[in-house]
Chains A and B, each alone.
Chain A
Amino acid sequence: MPDICTIGESVNIFEDDIHFISEAIVHELDHSSYFNDALMDTLKAIVFEQPHKQHAIALIILVVNKKNPNAGKTIFNHCLNEFQRWLREVVNPNFKYVSNETGAWNRIKLLLRFTSLLSPMINTDELISIFKTFFEIVIDINKEFPEQRNPLAEMIYTNTLMNIPYLFFFDRINPELNLKVDQLLNYVENNYKPNSIQLELTNEFTNDVHGRRLEYSQVILPNVKAILSNDKKLLFNFFPNYMNLLPTQPNRIKFMNPIKFPLYSDLISYNKLDTYLGSVTSTWYTPKYNFQILMQDNICDFETVMPFDSYQGFLLKDIITDIVESMEFNMKEVARQVFTLDMFFNRRIFAPPGISIPELEKLKANDNSISTYKLEDIAIETILSLMFNLPTVTQSFCYYFNLLVNICNESSRSIAPIFGRAFRFLFRNLISLDFELILRYLDWFSFQISNFKFSWKWSEWEDEFNKIKNTPYHPKNIFIRNLIKKELRLTSNKIDIEESLTAPFKECMYDGFFSNDILTNFYNLLFEGFGVTYDMISMSNMIFNHEDMPMNDIVSGIIDYFHEDIKTKNVSSLETLLETLRKDHMSIIKDYDEFVTILLTHCLLYSGRRSLSHTNKYISDFYDDFTHIFNTRNTDKSKTEFWIIKSTLMFWNSNSQTAFLTLDGFRQYGLVSSNALIRFCLKDEDGKIPAIIDSTATEATLRVLHQDVSHTEDIFDELLGIFDELCKIIKNSFDKKGDIHGLKDTGLMTLDENIENMYWKYSMSLRFLKTILRMFTEEYKLVEDSLLIILDNTIAEPVIKAIINKYITELTIL
């Protein structure tokens, strides 16, 4: 038997495949339970995982039904049983979700679509009654929550409406069906209107890049009505025409048993969709908007992605989303399927596969009727919209990253330019892009180009970079510097990176976490009557070991102590060394406690510098000694923590990621607290707040919070602390930059450099605050009153207060 899973992939043998497979089913069905089970499982898998092939499967069943109505009925009844099963699962609190599970409601959507495709063999009244019942549920829920957005109602409404055109896929000339569908649409239109809401917390941008965001629930009804109008000409031009393969059907089947829908009382307890209910279903928890990246721009003066406010654009996005989500276990297959999607629709609605924009422009000039909708663009934009979805993504980021790499590998000549367009769009809009999305963009960009020899046209960003390189808080400056650092962390061959960069960017390769002056000053401030130069720091692996350091022999002794066998070492020998240090060198040491903390940290890091594992092993072996020394000295804990953090970053100044990962180790052993690390990341040092400027510090902050959310009760202190600190930063930057009312996130090139920098500091801090609130919604909801008190106490400016207030209000919706 041909592989049912690949049905439709070879257009030339499609008819043969339908004939051959249907023939085999007619002969084998009900002869062995193994065959029956295997067949039903396979059909189910295709319906759920490759929804673009549903019509081919439906055609097989319609052909089977003609040849053997009993076989057709058996398969149809299996389909109904499956439908019934998932209607039970939507109210099953014990259902186990795996990563490729899109959710019971999403499966119901796909089964409804499949059932609609079988319309020529089903009693029309019974088929329409399923749609009607779903709409009744929507209307009932809406009656109970008339003024609010209800996620469940919105989802059922959108999914049910989306499937209505499928009723006509094979049943094209059926006046009864036409009439009933018209009545159905009138019924829902007259009785339900989804509440529109523009949620700021999930807005990808701070300004109106695209104008008002299009909501799924708002566009679906007009989309369906438009595609069904004018004798469904648009619809029949969109769907492939298999009418020549469709045999006349015997009598329409009635349902063996009526479908039982869940009780309203059971259903209503899931109406908010606020527990995890599968990857796709759960995206309805918050209002769903379209995210457009590949829009008409200066690269091409026509649209290459079908508009979302058209049924075709809407449905394609839905189908691609289902393929990507339900087949996450095989991204290679996903890549293959989404790029052959055009074979399952009327291919004339797409531009020729793989065509470039210039080629398409030429074609368009010669023939204006040619479609400019590129399947590659539609697929990539959909994947990007999943990757950039807010408030959360449905799969691990690396799935989307590597899926896109796989797609690019398949056909880099046609795909790479699309990525180029997306990269440029996001770069252009960094001035208003959400903080979290900047991090995702950074990760995606670095991952993508690391798979393609780090090649990028850096020259096109040169002019802009030269203008902003002295504005540390400018989002493009932040992005470029972090991107280069990230690239460096992804390779062991810096030369590759250096060669890929043009001159202005090469200097970023050598950016330290702290500037050379701060670094030198840090060590100088430890001494009086002794000076440290930058050359001494840069020429030595560890400054205290430098030959010009007066205490370098003691330092060597401490390092030797770290190398002693863990079983035989005795902390008293370390104490003796420190006592010698005190006696011999106290005259040049400003603060002995600070000096000892920094020295010991440096010696430990120096000993474990070979790798993170080594460092962690040294921390594990010597944290007792550290604790003992600090306790003996009775040093203030918060000061000690600050010294450890700062000296770790000083030691790893050129590789702050290693520093933060090392600090995770210190944190694990209690030498550094989460609060101390967060405070450090938000502390203005050298005119820069690490958590906003440096992605390693941002990631460290978020890592700490994500870990602590499930482990410690301090999380509320930490979250309120961050909120408080960010409000202060926002206020201070606002005060320093003056009037912001007239300013928008669109350039500001005419402003004084310092004022501009303060503007961006304000803007980025506000965006970071929004990200933190969104990421930890559940926790922040519980301390909403405290947030309002902090806001009242820190910010007086009404405009800013209103913005943050709106975020806080929206917490209850998220």
Chain B
Amino acid sequence: MSLAEFDEIKYDHSAERLDKPSLYLLKKARKNRANGLEQLRESTKSGTIYVGNLSFYTSEEQIYELFSKCGFIKRIIMGLDRFKFTPCGFCFVIFNTPEEALNAVKYLGDTKLDDRVITIDLDPGFEDGRQFGRGKSGGQVSDELKFEFDASRGGFAIPLANRIGNNNEVANNFGQNKFNQHNHSHHGRNFNGGRRNRFGSHQHIPSQKQQHMQSEGADQDMFPQSFPDNNENQDDAYSNLQNSDDNVNMGVEDTYIPE
């Protein structure tokens, strides 16, 4: 599918522009014949950006501190694990004007926040529900495709047992049922070096039901029960499938949930 002006070869600059939609957005728009092009156009004038590859520990205030250098921020929406309601490594930043959002894409791409190179992309505009991770474990899909330990991102996205089967099955089942399990272990060593989460306490990962019971009144409005559909997520653009051989020799103690 042709994407009109986005597919045109232009000679008006001597180098490519960085404030253009990413390959992921272009691919997504190409697939969406109904209104892909419209969404793409919208992404250049929505004033909204998607920020990815954030540490799970990065706070809204940190994001404000960085992105406010590009313009006036109207709102920051942290991406949340849809079961745990904890940050899961992405956010949306809504600026006052589309120019400010384009500036953020142009100027802050590849900068570091919490010592991680963040990714920034244009976005057609935030809609309720998009703040939740769409991975089966509740976080981002891209994390479920990662196998390396990433301390600042939050450790392992999925416990080893869930990724490669339980200890007895490691040899036989590696790679077969890594995305199949939802029941997280609630105990054991944490893999972020005992770091405290932003709310001041070591994070206990309750069951989904407990989560809803614990969530405060305002959160219920803020985090509606209508979870997003399973369409492709922005985070897919940044998935980083690692060589799974890296993890073959990991011991059983690695089967704990990261905090």
How many residues on A have C-beta within 8 angstroms of the other chain's C-beta atoms? 60
Alpha-carbon separation in the docked complex, A473 to B10 (Å): 54
Contact assessment for A329 and B17 in the assembled complex, using a CB-CB cutoff below 8 Å: yes
Contact assessment for A37 and B11 in the assembled complex, using a CB-CB cutoff below 8 Å: yes
A 322-337 to B, binary, CB cutoff 8 A, 1 in contact else 0 = 0000011111110000
Which parts of A430-445 form the interface with B (CB within 8 Å)?
A: 443
Q: Which of B13, B152, B195, B219 contacts A329 (CB 8 A)?
A: B13
Residue of A with least CB distance to B13: A45
A 89-109 to B, binary, CB cutoff 8 A, 1 in contact else 0 = 000000000011000000000
Which parts of B98-147 form the interface with A (CB within 8 Å)?
A: 99-100, 103-104, 106-115
Residue of A with least CB distance to B77: A613
The stretch of A73-81, A253-261, A559-567, A722-730 that contacts the partner chain: A559-567
How many residues on B have C-beta within 8 angstroms of the other chain's C-beta atoms? 54
Alpha-carbon separation in the docked complex, A658 to B13 (Å): 41
Alpha-carbon separation in the docked complex, A658 to B222 (Å): 20
B213: min CB distance to chain A, Å: 13
Alpha-carbon separation in the docked complex, A490 to B58 (Å): 9
Residues of A within 8 A of B200 (CB): 541
B116: min CB distance to chain A, Å: 11
Which parts of B190-222 form the interface with A (CB within 8 Å)?
A: 195, 198-200, 216-222
Contact assessment for B107 and A331 in the assembled complex, using a CB-CB cutoff below 8 Å: yes
Given contacts A493-B195, A612-B60, A331 and B112 within 8 Å (CB-CB): no
Given contacts A450-B112, A607-B216, A41 and B64 within 8 Å (CB-CB): no
Contact assessment for B69 and A492 in the assembled complex, using a CB-CB cutoff below 8 Å: no
A750: min CB distance to chain B, Å: 39
Q: Is B31 an interface residue (CB 8 A)?
A: no
The stretch of A398-406, A758-766, A785-793 that contacts the partner chain: A398-406
Given contacts A397-B69, A563-B216, A402 and B60 within 8 Å (CB-CB): no
Given contacts A563-B216, A614-B222, A492 and B11 within 8 Å (CB-CB): no
Q: Is A38 an interface residue (CB 8 A)?
A: yes
Contact assessment for A486 and B65 in the assembled complex, using a CB-CB cutoff below 8 Å: yes
Alpha-carbon separation in the docked complex, A562 to B221 (Å): 13
Contact assessment for A614 and B61 in the assembled complex, using a CB-CB cutoff below 8 Å: no
A160: min CB distance to chain B, Å: 25
Q: Which of A489, A621, A658 contacts B218 (CB 8 A)?
A: A621
Q: Is A50 an interface residue (CB 8 A)?
A: yes
Q: Is B256 an interface residue (CB 8 A)?
A: no
Residues of B within 8 A of A639 (CB): none
Residues of B within 8 A of A564 (CB): 217
Q: Is B18 an interface residue (CB 8 A)?
A: yes
Residues of B within 8 A of A229 (CB): none
Q: Is A154 an interface residue (CB 8 A)?
A: no
Q: Is B42 an interface residue (CB 8 A)?
A: no
Contact assessment for B107 and A396 in the assembled complex, using a CB-CB cutoff below 8 Å: yes
Given contacts A402-B107, A492-B114, A614-B218, A332 and B14 within 8 Å (CB-CB): no
Contact assessment for B69 and A443 in the assembled complex, using a CB-CB cutoff below 8 Å: yes
Contact assessment for B69 and A617 in the assembled complex, using a CB-CB cutoff below 8 Å: no
Residues of A within 8 A of B70 (CB): 396, 398
Alpha-carbon separation in the docked complex, A46 to B14 (Å): 6
Contact assessment for A42 and B65 in the assembled complex, using a CB-CB cutoff below 8 Å: no
Given contacts A329-B18, A611-B59, A614-B222, A563 and B217 within 8 Å (CB-CB): yes
- Which of A38, A491, A496, A621 has the most C-beta atoms of chain B within 10 angstroms of its own C-beta? A491
Alpha-carbon separation in the docked complex, A126 to B199 (Å): 74
Q: Is A610 an interface residue (CB 8 A)?
A: yes
Q: Which of B15, B108, B110, B217 contacts A5 (CB 8 A)?
A: B15
Q: Is B78 an interface residue (CB 8 A)?
A: yes
Contact assessment for A490 and B62 in the assembled complex, using a CB-CB cutoff below 8 Å: yes
Given contacts A402-B111, A450-B112, A607-B216, A330 and B65 within 8 Å (CB-CB): no
Which parts of A441-497 form the interface with B (CB within 8 Å)?
A: 443, 447, 450-451, 453, 486, 489-493, 496
Q: Is B55 an interface residue (CB 8 A)?
A: yes
A494: min CB distance to chain B, Å: 10
Contact assessment for A490 and B66 in the assembled complex, using a CB-CB cutoff below 8 Å: yes
Residues of B within 8 A of A496 (CB): 115
B 1-20 to A, binary, CB cutoff 8 A, 1 in contact else 0 = 00000000011111111110
A 553-587 to B, binary, CB cutoff 8 A, 1 in contact else 0 = 00000000011111000000000000000000000
Given contacts A49-B13, A397-B69, A453 and B115 within 8 Å (CB-CB): yes
Residue of A with least CB distance to B152: A493
Q: Is B71 an interface residue (CB 8 A)?
A: yes
Q: Is B75 an interface residue (CB 8 A)?
A: yes
Q: Is B90 an interface residue (CB 8 A)?
A: no
Contact assessment for B75 and A613 in the assembled complex, using a CB-CB cutoff below 8 Å: yes
Residues of B within 8 A of A396 (CB): 69-71, 100, 103, 107
Alpha-carbon separation in the docked complex, A447 to B109 (Å): 14
Q: Which of A37, A489, A541 contacts B62 (CB 8 A)?
A: A489
Q: Is A268 an interface residue (CB 8 A)?
A: no
Q: Which of B61, B72, B78 contacts A657 (CB 8 A)?
A: B61
Residue of B with least CB distance to A46: B14
Alpha-carbon separation in the docked complex, A100 to B19 (Å): 12
Residues of A within 8 A of B109 (CB): 402
Given contacts A490-B66, A611-B59, A327 and B15 within 8 Å (CB-CB): yes
B86: min CB distance to chain A, Å: 11
Alpha-carbon separation in the docked complex, A623 to B104 (Å): 32
B21: min CB distance to chain A, Å: 14
Given contacts A489-B62, A614-B222, A405 and B11 within 8 Å (CB-CB): no
Residues of A within 8 A of B83 (CB): none
Alpha-carbon separation in the docked complex, A657 to B69 (Å): 14
Q: Is A426 an interface residue (CB 8 A)?
A: no
Alpha-carbon separation in the docked complex, A398 to B76 (Å): 18
Q: Is B156 an interface residue (CB 8 A)?
A: no
Q: Is A169 an interface residue (CB 8 A)?
A: no
Q: Is B50 an interface residue (CB 8 A)?
A: no
Alpha-carbon separation in the docked complex, A330 to B65 (Å): 23
Q: Which of A41, A331, A621, A658 contacts B12 (CB 8 A)?
A: A41
Contact assessment for B106 and A399 in the assembled complex, using a CB-CB cutoff below 8 Å: yes
B224: min CB distance to chain A, Å: 13
Contact assessment for B103 and A331 in the assembled complex, using a CB-CB cutoff below 8 Å: no
Q: Is A661 an interface residue (CB 8 A)?
A: yes
Alpha-carbon separation in the docked complex, A97 to B142 (Å): 39
Residues of B within 8 A of A443 (CB): 69
B 212-241 to A, binary, CB cutoff 8 A, 1 in contact else 0 = 000011111110000000000000000000
Residues of A within 8 A of B15 (CB): 5, 49, 327, 329-330, 333
Which parts of B46-66 form the interface with A (CB within 8 Å)?
A: 55, 57-62, 64-66
Alpha-carbon separation in the docked complex, A235 to B154 (Å): 59
Residues of B within 8 A of A49 (CB): 13-15
Alpha-carbon separation in the docked complex, A263 to B97 (Å): 37
Contact assessment for B11 and A42 in the assembled complex, using a CB-CB cutoff below 8 Å: yes
Q: Is A72 an interface residue (CB 8 A)?
A: no
Contact assessment for B76 and A99 in the assembled complex, using a CB-CB cutoff below 8 Å: no
Contact assessment for B18 and A398 in the assembled complex, using a CB-CB cutoff below 8 Å: no
Residue of A with least CB distance to B18: A330
Residues of B within 8 A of A611 (CB): 59-61, 78
Residues of B within 8 A of A655 (CB): 61
Closest 3 CB pairs of A and B: A563-B217, A41-B11, A492-B57
Instruction: Give the B-binding residues of A (Cβ under 8 A).
Output: 5, 37-38, 41-42, 44-46, 49-50, 99-100, 327-333, 396-399, 401-402, 405-406, 443, 447, 450-451, 453, 486, 489-493, 496, 541, 562-566, 607-608, 610-614, 617-618, 621, 655, 657-658, 661, 707
Known contacts A327-B15, A330-B18, A397-B69; can you find 18 more A-B pairs with CB under 8 A?
A38-B11, A45-B11, A100-B13, A329-B17, A329-B19, A333-B15, A396-B107, A443-B69, A447-B66, A451-B112, A453-B115, A490-B65, A490-B66, A563-B216, A607-B218, A608-B218, A612-B64, A657-B64
Contacts A/B (CB < 8 Å), 21 sampled: A41-B10, A327-B14, A330-B106, A331-B18, A396-B69, A396-B107, A398-B69, A399-B103, A399-B106, A401-B69, A402-B111, A489-B61, A490-B113, A493-B195, A562-B218, A612-B60, A617-B221, A621-B218, A655-B61, A661-B64, A707-B72
